[in-house]
Amino acid sequence: MRTDTPFEGINFGSVPEAVDELLQAGVLAHRRDKTAADALFHEALTLDPAALPTYFCLYKIHTYSGRLDEARAMAEAGLAEAARQAGWSTDWRLWLPLQTGPADPGRFALYTLKALAFIALRDARPDDAAAMLSALRKLDPQGEVGWPVVAELAEGCAA
């Protein structure tokens, strides 16, 4: 059985080619060298701060590495950039329920708000998580960005 399956890449959507190359390299590096992956993702962010997938890569690796302060900072920065691109307030408490498509910056903003709720749970900030989840219930009543999973985790933590 082969374990060296070739890497087919991840579809990061429409990002500049140089950013995509850095993100792909970061994903590959993450398997063996998390510091190198972080550096590649930061290089992509410097190259194009409007490329939303870069924020996702950064807050994801920091969250699962337990670096919650860094994860929160990257998620908050990504949330602010997505809100700016969507024409929304930078304060998620002021957002109104709007239809978003899979590739919309608004959808990324909602997904990132869900990530911030998860980070808040991991960081022992259940009240912050509850406020974000309450907003997501109104903003995404169908749960398209996956917030119900985080809500279940929050309920389990409260029990």
pLDDT tens sequence for the chain (159 residues): 445 555 678 899 999 999 999 999 999 999 899 999 999 999 999 999 999 999 999 999 999 899 999 999 999 999 999 999 999 999 999 999 988 888 899 999 999 999 999 999 999 999 999 999 999 999 999 999 999 999 999 988 765
Q: Cβ distance 52 to 108 under 8 Å? A: yes
| One-letter identity of residue 31 | R
Ordered structural domains, the chain, with CATH: 17-90+102-158 (1.25.40.10)
* 148 phi, psi to nearest 5 deg: -60, -30
3-state secondary structure of 94: helix
| Residue 2: how many other CB atoms lie within 10 Å | 5
Alpha helix segments (H runs only) across 1-159: 17-30, 34-47, 52-64, 68-86, 105-122, 126-139, 147-158
Q: What is the pLDDT of residue 1?
A: 41
Q: What is the pLDDT of residue 103?
A: 85
Q: What is the pLDDT of residue 5?
A: 53
Which two tokens mark 34? 């998390």
